[in-house]
């Protein structure tokens, strides 16, 4: 999965990943292997992606959280240590290849203390295969351009965010 490693290194070079920040990952392993989203899935592809992301976590101290598929309402799998009860609500579901998707399932199976929350608001995300991570990106979402446009056969979209600009004509912004 050379294109994934190139993408992650490019984002790392651009300082996209920040220590102690959460970054949502949405991924259709079906799309990565050239099939329709939600159709076949691949735990082998999920493993490759998860392991590449773990390397970036270790290098940058960013924390990745994993969006499940629509069958679990795009719920988020994360390490319990990243849970914030003031902004997150735990739900009772375990991601499965056919209800959650391969990457969320693999992540759940390989995290130290996994849990699932209904929704989350994070400053950044990587969407592999048009899984619609936008619902979890803080307002205002900004597209990040990279030289890598696909992972395998899947379209990749990267988002960061900025604070909302509020006020009127007298307001000043930094």
Mean per-residue pLDDT pooled into runs of 10, the chain (174 residues): 96 97 98 92 97 98 97 96 97 94 98 98 98 96 97 98 87 80
pLDDT at 91: 97
For residue 8, the model assigns a pLDDT of 98
pTM for this predicted structure: 0.94
Q: Which of 111, 50, 57, 101 is nearest to 80 (CA)?
A: 111
pLDDT of residue 12: 98
Q: Which residues are within 8 A (CB) of 116 and not within 5 positions of it... i.e. 6 or more apart?
A: 68, 72, 75, 76, 77, 78, 90, 91, 92, 93, 94, 95, 108
- DSSP states of 26-66: EE-HHHHTTS-TTSS--HHHHHHHHHHHHHHHHHH--EEEE
d(CA 55, CA 141): 26
Domains assigned to the chain:
2-161 (3.40.50.10360)
What is the pLDDT at residue 74?
96
> What are the φ/ψ torsions at residue 60 (nearest 5 degrees)?
-120, -15
Task: Quote the CA–CA distance of 159 and 165 in Å, as a whole number.
Answer: 18
């Amino acid at each position: 999965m050379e294109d994934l490693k190139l993408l992650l290194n490019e984002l790392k070079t651009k300082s996209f990943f920040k220590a102690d920040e959460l970054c949502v990952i949405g991924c259709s392993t079906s799309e990565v292997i050239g099939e329709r989203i939600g159709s076949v899935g691949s735990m082998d592809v999920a493993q490759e992606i998860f392991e590449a992301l773990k390397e970036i976590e270790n290098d940058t101290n960013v924390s990745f959280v994993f969006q499940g598929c629509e069958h679990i309402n795009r719920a988020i799998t994360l390490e319990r240590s990243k849970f914030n009860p003031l902004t997150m609500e735990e739900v009772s579901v375990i991601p499965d290849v056919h209800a959650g998707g391969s990457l969320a399932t693999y992540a759940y199976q390989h995290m130290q203390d996994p849990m699932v929350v209904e929704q989350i608001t994070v400053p950044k995300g990587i969407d592999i295969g048009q899984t619609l991570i936008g619902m979890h990106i803080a307002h205002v979402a900004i597209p990040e351009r990279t030289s890598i446009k696909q992972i395998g056969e899947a379209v990749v979209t990267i988002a960061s965010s900025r604070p909302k600009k509020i006020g009127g004509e007298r307001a000043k912004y930094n």
